[in-house]
Amino acid sequence: LFLSGAASLVYELVWIKQLTLVFGGTLYAISAVLCAFMTGLALGAWGISRYLDTRKEVNLIRLYGVLEGLIGVYGLLFPWGLKALNIIYPVAVAIGSGSALHLVEFVLSALLMLPATFLMGTTLPLIGGWAVGRTASSFFSNISVLYSINTFGAVFGCLFAQYFGIKHFGVAGVTWVDVL
């Protein structure tokens, strides 16, 4: 579990580094990548809770292992997706700018990272469900939903700060809004 968490953050940092080479190193581009990453985590947690609610007998450890393997495979395939993005993104830059371009950056990075980050989002709820046992299925389902809600909140906070808050309230103002 520790190695899984470490690998996930290594992917995130490496992918941010690679995608900033495509999008540029602006705060908006980096925020788009971070939000896309967090969106996948939230969707994965939500999705696995829905899936497991419909299944009676699932070997959680086996499923966990399969999903971790798929994450690794996607990590190996990521460079080909990045090459495709290098072809698509210049067209987007030629068409739009400003907020529209930032939205395109978010969508493109989400499409590229979503398969792996969705799978990453499933792993903590799965291993948590295994740890508490199947007799506590409502506990497992609730944890998955809470994890999903929390991660979606992180996405909202990032989007709010970058696309609205800092623009209208400044850094200090957004900090106060966040504290309140």
| pLDDT reported for residue 119 | 94
Range 145-172 average pLDDT: 76
pLDDT mean over 47-75: 87
Model confidence at 138: pLDDT above 70: no
pLDDT computed for residue 67 by the predictor: 93
Q: Is the pTM of this model over 0.95?
A: no
Report yes or no: 44 and 118 within 8 Å, Cβ to Cβ.
yes
Phi, psi angles (nearest 5°) of residue 173? -65, -40
- State both tokens at 30: 């980096």
What band does 5 get if pLDDT is binned at 50, 70 and 90? low
- Indicate whether 136 pLDDT > 60: no
According to the model, what pLDDT value does residue 66 have? 94
How many CB atoms within 10 Å of residue 72? 14
- The helix-helix angle for 27-53 and 98-132 (nearest 10°) equals 40
Q: What is the DSSP letter of 54?
A: T
pLDDT, tens digit, for every residue of 21-48? 888 777 777 777 788 888 888 899 889 9
Average of pLDDT values for 157-176? 77
